[in-house]
Amino acid sequence: MSLFLLNFMLAVLWMLMWGLFDIYSLLGGFILGYLLLGIVSRTLSDEGAGYGVKGWKLFSFAVYFIRILIKSNLIVAKEIITPGFQMTPRFIRYPLQGLTDIQITTLANAITLTPGTLSADVSDDKRYLYVHCMYAQDREAAVKDIDELRDRILDEVFG
């Protein structure tokens, strides 16, 4: 988080240096600061993954999440528009082993934000997340989708 604030300060410094106080100047300074901090943090980091890599992973997760949001919205919209009842709702007990409280909260919120799914509850011992799915005829496929979301969150958001 401190590198993000430093990046923002570099963008403001860029604006002050050029005397241009508009969104394009801020964006240009932010991009330049992002590139510079990415190079410097990668050089100084023991792991080899610096600020630029983390930012790219977060952007990659955002693109992935927007894609599943659009897909889910289209499926729910189709259900609303077409006559009949195509849903196969069910509750799924999803295991949460190895996840911290913030990771559980992030996963539950991402599930709830996706149309057609709802995080209903976390067990008292924090071992299971109960998820209601509108379209879960095949339990294994629904769990596989949640697994992919969990893995992407762990790798790209918390990695």
pLDDT in tens, 119-142: 999 999 999 999 999 988 889 999
- Residue 20's φ and ψ, nearest 5 degrees, are -110, 120
Band the pLDDT of 51: cuts 50, 70, 90: confident
Task: Tell me: pLDDT of 47 over 70.
Answer: no
**Model pTM above 0.95:** no
What angle is formed at CA 7 by the lines to CA 45 and CA 10, rounded to 5 degrees? Answer: 125
Distance of CA 53 to the CA centre of its chain: 15
Which pLDDT does position 146 carry in this prediction? Answer: 95
Contact (Cβ atoms closer than 8 angstroms) between residue 34 and residue 55: yes
d(CA 80, CA 50): 45
Count Cα neighbours of 74 within 13 Å in the Cβ-side half-sphere.
6
Which pLDDT does position 48 carry in this prediction? Answer: 52
pLDDT tens string 86-118? 889 999 999 999 999 999 999 999 999 999 999
Share of the chain above pLDDT 90, in %: 59
Count Cα neighbours of 62 within 13 Å in the Cβ-side half-sphere.
6
